[in-house]
């Protein structure tokens, strides 16, 4: 196992030490989102992945340093360069990397704005994927079964407008979630409702994993009954004809354009 450099960390560490087991099996990178992120990274040769988790969406042709406060998550990361640290105090010199990436992690940071300042400090270009809590279309799982997630996400996620301003983003891109999306975050299974019945799937989504059993289990019982009776399909027949739906996921790009790589002969 590659060595892990450790620094004092806080924030998401405790949560993901508890819920992160098996994360890599469920949260498999989707090639369509991967292509979008790789384009946004602009051909960076050196990348720091902050809140790296199991390493999803890291560019295969770059030298990547993975940073995460959770040892459980870093143990699942396959890369050779791993640092246990929080986003708010990155242990790197100014301008150490071509690019910094932070994929669905900023809502876990104890100080969002300080973490974004750190991304800007250590890298020339920044790429952040987050969820806009003010997006109008809500996942049916939330509106019909688990409204507790709405309050949770509104408390955790900062508006995309505020994140973009703090990051000084020059580009904000929408990512509609495909119906066959492979990365099992909360909205991934909008057209595959039976997947939410699987406790392994729920454990890999922080919005579901942190809810107590007395909230989750009655909701899953109702979903199971609705699927068995056909009520769910009747209510959501229009979803079965959709290929992708915008649930508010946004990719933010900030910082410099990087020089185009030239092949060596």
Q: Residues 42-99: pLDDT tens digits?
A: 999 999 999 998 899 999 999 999 999 988 889 889 999 999 999 999 999 999 999 9
Q: Which residues of 67-94 are buried (b: 16+ CB within 10 A; e: fewer)?
A: bbbbbbbbebbebebbbbbbbbebebee
- pLDDT for 14 equals 43
Half-sphere exposure of 199 (CA within 13 A, CB side): 8
- pLDDT for 259 equals 72
- pLDDT for 6 equals 46
- Residue ranges and CATH numbers for the domains of the chain are 4-255 (3.40.50.150)
Reply yes or no on whether the pLDDT at 19 is more than 70: no
Higher pLDDT, 21 or 102: 102
Gyration radius of the chain's alpha carbons: 19
What is the overall mean pLDDT for the chain?
90
Give residues with Cβ within 8 angstroms of 114, minimum separation 6: 87, 88
- Under the banding of pLDDT at 50, 70 and 90, the label for residue 4 is low
- pLDDT for 23 equals 55
The helix (H) or strand (E) run that includes residue 169 is: strand 169-174
The whole-angstrom distance between residue 172's C-alpha and the CA centroid of its chain comes to 16
Q: Residues 172-219: pLDDT tens digits?
A: 999 999 999 999 999 999 999 999 999 999 988 888 988 999 999 999
Q: Residues 99-123: pLDDT tens digits?
A: 999 999 999 999 999 999 999 999 9
- pLDDT for 22 equals 53
* CA-based torsion, 236, 176, 206, 183: positive or negative: positive
Give residues with Cβ within 8 angstroms of 113, minimum separation 6: 166
Whole-angstrom Cα distance, residue 265 to residue 189?
A: 46
């Amino acid at each position: 196992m590659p060595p892990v450099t450790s620094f004092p960390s806080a924030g998401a560490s405790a949560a993901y030490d508890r819920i992160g087991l098996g994360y890599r099996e469920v949260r498999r990178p989707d090639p369509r989102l991967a292509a979008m992120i790789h384009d946004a990274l602009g051909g960076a040769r050196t990348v720091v992945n902050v809140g790296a988790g199991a390493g999803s969406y890291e560019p295969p042709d770059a030298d990547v340093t993975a940073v995460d406060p959770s040892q459980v998550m870093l143990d699942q990361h396959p890369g050779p360069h791993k640092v246990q640290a929080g986003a708010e105090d990155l242990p790197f010199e100014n301008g150490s990397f071509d690019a910094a990436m932070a994929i669905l992690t900023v809502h876990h940071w104890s100080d969002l704005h300080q973490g974004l300042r750190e991304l800007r400090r250590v890298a020339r270009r920044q790429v952040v994927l987050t969820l806009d809590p003010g997006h109008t279309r809500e996942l049916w799982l939330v509106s019909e079964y688990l409204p507790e997630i709405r309050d949770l996400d509104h408390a955790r996620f900062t508006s995309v407008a505020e994140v973009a301003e703090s990051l000084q983003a020059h580009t904000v891109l929408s990512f509609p979630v495909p119906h066959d999306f492979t990365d099992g975050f909360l909205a991934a299974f909008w057209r595959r409702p039976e997947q939410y019945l699987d406790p392994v799937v729920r454990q890999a989504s922080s919005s579901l994993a942190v809810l107590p059993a007395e909230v989750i289990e009655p909701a899953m019982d109702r979903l199971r009954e609705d699927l068995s009776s056909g009520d769910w399909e009747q209510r959501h027949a229009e979803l079965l004809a959709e290929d992708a739906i915008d649930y508010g996921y946004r990719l933010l790009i900030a910082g410099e354009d990087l020089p185009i790589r030239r092949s060596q002969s």
